[in-house]
Amino acid sequence: MFCDLHNHSSCSDGTLTPSELAATAAEAGLGAVALTDHNTVSGLHEFVRSARELGVEPVPGVEISTEYPVDGEVHEFHVLALFLGEASAEQVETMLREARRCSDVSKRELVDRLRAGGYDIPTYDEIRAEAGGVSINRAHVAAHLVRLGYAADRKEVFDTILDENSGYYRPARRLDSLEVISAIRHMGAVSVLAHPLLHLEAHRLEGFLEKASAAGLDAMEVYYSEYDERQTEQALALAGRYGLACSGGSDFHGGNKPHITIGAGKGDLAVPYEWYERLKAIHDSRTSK
């Protein structure tokens, strides 16, 4: 049996509703599935109810955008908080409220700069209304740029127009990575460092992992859809070196990442169900005290 501990719904930048995500996981035969929308917990209640009705173990979570200096430069780290209960979800929501406000300002300015630069895309308010009123991120903007022919696909638009060096996108100040990891631990949830090798070499990651482990980091994503064989081997070695549990996820977004399938990634993800059980045991040991 397998699990998938990193997925997104239409409450952030996925295309399936939380209920549809749960149904897709059930159809895929997964034993456990997580909902980890970007910086929001708004879909968790619907997701948990639907997954339980379908016989899939739900893992309510969130993917939090954080930052921490690496070699003198600020680097973005995504931290998953898994096994959120009602109380911890409320704590996360409080923590994220100001971060979302700053992010919304950053994305509004991005859209304004693009329009001023000659890109004939909808306004920020139009994009947000189309997304159902949720806080938008670069993926929403990217979809319009691709649809209008300014880039061939999502990867190209992120590598060019929406890259931080393009002059259009200026990221908002994010939450501190170590503070977020510590907060997750204190609220009884489980922290997982998501896809850390996606934009950072293994040797540059080690210094951060040492500090993150001391702050209470529980696990690291070692199976990930976009990792090649070498990155997976490096991630497994680093998790072992720093005493971190293993996690894995497809980073499924539905139609916004059509090459990624829930549970299977690009076809060979296969995250062991035992990894879910180990992470749940960490959570249970904290909440039973």
Contacting residues for 142 by C-beta, under 8 A, at least 6 apart: 151, 154, 157, 158, 162
Q: Tokens for 247? A: 């996690």
3-state secondary structure of 271: strand
The sign of the CA dihedral 189, 256, 146, 269 is positive
- Per-residue buried b or exposed e for 129-144, using 16+ beta carbons within 10 Å of the residue's own CB: eebeebbbbbbbbbbb
Report the pLDDT value the prediction gives residue 289, as an integer from 0 to 100. Answer: 62
CA geometry: angle 176, 205, 59, nearest 5 deg: 60
Weakly modelled stretches of the chain, pLDDT under 70: 289
The 3-class secondary structure across 192-253, one letter per residue, is EEECCCCCCCHHHHHHHHHHHHHHCCCEEEEEECCCCHHHHHHHHHHHHHCCCEEEEECCEC
Report the pLDDT value the prediction gives residue 275, as an integer from 0 to 100. Answer: 98
Report the pLDDT value the prediction gives residue 135, as an integer from 0 to 100. Answer: 74
Report the pLDDT value the prediction gives residue 117, as an integer from 0 to 100. Answer: 94
Report the pLDDT value the prediction gives residue 226, as an integer from 0 to 100. Answer: 96
The Cα diameter of the chain in Å comes to: 58
Q: Tokens for 139? A: 């993926």
Rounded to whole angstroms, the Cα distance separating 253 from 71 reads 32
Rounded to whole angstroms, the Cα distance separating 188 from 171 reads 30
Residue type, 246: C
The CA–CA distances, whole Å, from 124 to 10, 39, 137, 162 equal 17, 19, 10, 15
Global pTM value: 0.85
Question: Residue 3: CA atoms inside 13 Å, Cβ hemisphere, count?
Answer: 25
In the block, tokens 């949720």 appear at 134
3-state secondary structure of 172: coil
Say which DSSP state 7 is in: B
Q: How far apart are the first and last CA of the chain?
A: 30
